[in-house]
Chains A and B, each alone.
Chain A
């Protein structure tokens, strides 16, 4: 083993030359305090996540002692409150999957389109006005979106204009509105990621005779990929976890959703409704909430993990 030191281990170090400036450090207590405060701030989110998992786990495990995991995950009838109880969660999962899917179908193309327009095509003045408006939309409370679905999208847009036969409550209306809700999130974050791509790369591409679309698709998007994927994943997470819109507009009947014009209860919709009712702490009904909550948590986590893998695989870091 060699070391980088030139003096052999154990040899006395030479004393500094007379008049040498002192290099001995002063103690810096403030630095230490600041470091601990920052460390605590970073630790907080980790601690909270762990806390959430623990608080979910207890009741959820109690639930799974009464209902086998397999029955829960594969059952197609969700009737926790009926005399003839059944805890197949698939109706809730299909409803969540459909609303999320429809939301993404709307939000990814429109969100990315808006981001590409703002970052690559719009003149700076246009960008400066449009971006804040977009971000304002992201701040609209989801209750408002819920009523928008109920009072406009379902009756006017879907039934009136498009002639799609939907009832007052439908997965389709809820999913569409959820998509509208997520557009600004995806657009704004993707735009940030694209604007962060150095101008020099666009110039390099243009100097080779690439047009703007080629530069965008072949240089800017790949370089901004990790930011864009992060934006989409945040969008998916918000869609999976969105509660108010589905509680208002998707309906309450838990059924296997095979067609988006049906009504259905999503996982979050069920939790919201059930949590409002009175279920005794420790009862099976009460524990059901946590089992569904845990499933939501796991699904969101899975989406994030898949996204991380995707980014690792395809990113082009600048």
Chain B
């Protein structure tokens, strides 16, 4: 992708008060890339409910994630964005009491179907977490970890590590200290290392849960650039609280909110609206979306 394609022009008509319009890329650029009304789904939620114990955290979510697109999940805290994200690669299996109903179709097969091995699922649908969580190992071993445990057939691990770190835009910063602990890196570098670690196993889909929330604006921009580069090879789903981030990088955006049950007071996450990012930010069809993105929420 040629970076000059990305002319800078505000994409958000009613920009939120805290928006920095100079960083919002062109809506035109985005639409050139994604024009179809419905994405070709690699991964798709069909009527997904997630419960923690008896508590319904999200209800009735149907959402396609387009091939080689970035999909952003936005919405207020507690509306179930992380919950939905974790249900996409069966990370909820690790949470006690979590239960997922409905289907999550990955290339047309339900990842919760009988005989499906969650380990195979996670190998293809990787995840980057909110807080950088490198292993307490060397930078090299962090990247090599996935290929080693999944028994990937690699000719030269050194080459793989180098290529992966290059793709994660980290190579130049770490090439002289590959054998040093990953904990010696800055937070932003650690997060890029975690992204590198994830792409080292050549997944199909990368799920990211607020990957920049612990980072400063410059590190954030680097990760955003990285995601935009990675989009050509991967399908990316990102949860973010940063509206400009969604506007800057996402092809499509899904807005969630929490419905409050009148009798029990339970807050259940629901999907309000899913559309092209430009549509969500410029001309949302639901007033709740509009209230949220214009900062009138709550």
Contact A203 B129 (CB under 8 A): yes
Q: A81 to chain B: closest CB distance in Å?
A: 55
Which of B120, B123, B181, B183 is close to A208, meaning CB atoms less than 8 Å apart?
B123
A205–B194 CA distance with the chains assembled, in angstroms: 11
Q: Does A52 contact B (CB under 8 A)?
A: no
What sequence of 0s and 1s flags, for each residue 191-232 of chain A, a beta carbon within 8 Å of any chain B beta carbon? 000000010111111111111001000110011000000000
Contact B133 A198 (CB under 8 A): yes
Residue of B with least CB distance to A204: B133
A200–B194 CA distance with the chains assembled, in angstroms: 12
Which of B124, B183, B197 is close to A317, meaning CB atoms less than 8 Å apart?
B183
Q: Does B146 contact A (CB under 8 A)?
A: yes
Q: Does B145 contact A (CB under 8 A)?
A: yes
Residue of B with least CB distance to A210: B149
A119–B138 CA distance with the chains assembled, in angstroms: 25
Q: Does A318 contact B (CB under 8 A)?
A: yes
Which of A204, A209, A223 is close to B123, meaning CB atoms less than 8 Å apart?
A209
Contact A209 B91 (CB under 8 A): no
Contact B136 A222 (CB under 8 A): yes
Which of B89, B94, B137 is close to A316, meaning CB atoms less than 8 Å apart?
B137
Contact B122 A208 (CB under 8 A): yes
Residue of A with least CB distance to B130: A200
Which of A200, A207, A219, A316 is close to B122, meaning CB atoms less than 8 Å apart?
A207
Q: Does A123 contact B (CB under 8 A)?
A: yes
Q: Does A124 contact B (CB under 8 A)?
A: yes
Contact A208 B136 (CB under 8 A): no
Q: How many residues of B contact A (CB 8 A)?
A: 29
A123–B94 CA distance with the chains assembled, in angstroms: 11
Q: A108 to chain B: closest CB distance in Å?
A: 23
B residues in contact with A210, CB < 8 Å: 119, 145-146, 149-150
A residues in contact with B149, CB < 8 Å: 205, 208-211, 214, 218
Contact B145 A209 (CB under 8 A): no
A52–B5 CA distance with the chains assembled, in angstroms: 78
A123-B96, A203-B94, A317-B183 as given contacts; A208 in contact with B133, CB under 8 Å: no
A residues in contact with B145, CB < 8 Å: 205, 208, 210, 218
Which residues of A264-318 have CB atoms within 8 Å of chain B's CB atoms? Answer: 316-318
Q: Does B201 contact A (CB under 8 A)?
A: yes
Which of B94, B131, B197 is close to A202, meaning CB atoms less than 8 Å apart?
B94
Q: B202 to chain A: closest CB distance in Å?
A: 11
A90–B142 CA distance with the chains assembled, in angstroms: 48
A201–B137 CA distance with the chains assembled, in angstroms: 11
Q: A17 to chain B: closest CB distance in Å?
A: 35
Q: Does B66 contact A (CB under 8 A)?
A: no
Q: A76 to chain B: closest CB distance in Å?
A: 47
Contact A223 B136 (CB under 8 A): yes
Contact A206 B136 (CB under 8 A): no
A250–B185 CA distance with the chains assembled, in angstroms: 55
A208-B197, A209-B120, A210-B119 as given contacts; A201 in contact with B135, CB under 8 Å: yes
A residues in contact with B136, CB < 8 Å: 201, 222-223, 316-318
A219–B133 CA distance with the chains assembled, in angstroms: 12
A205-B145, A210-B149, A211-B119 as given contacts; A222 in contact with B126, CB under 8 Å: no
Interface residues of A (CB under 8 A from B): 123-124, 198, 200-211, 214, 218-219, 222-223, 316-318
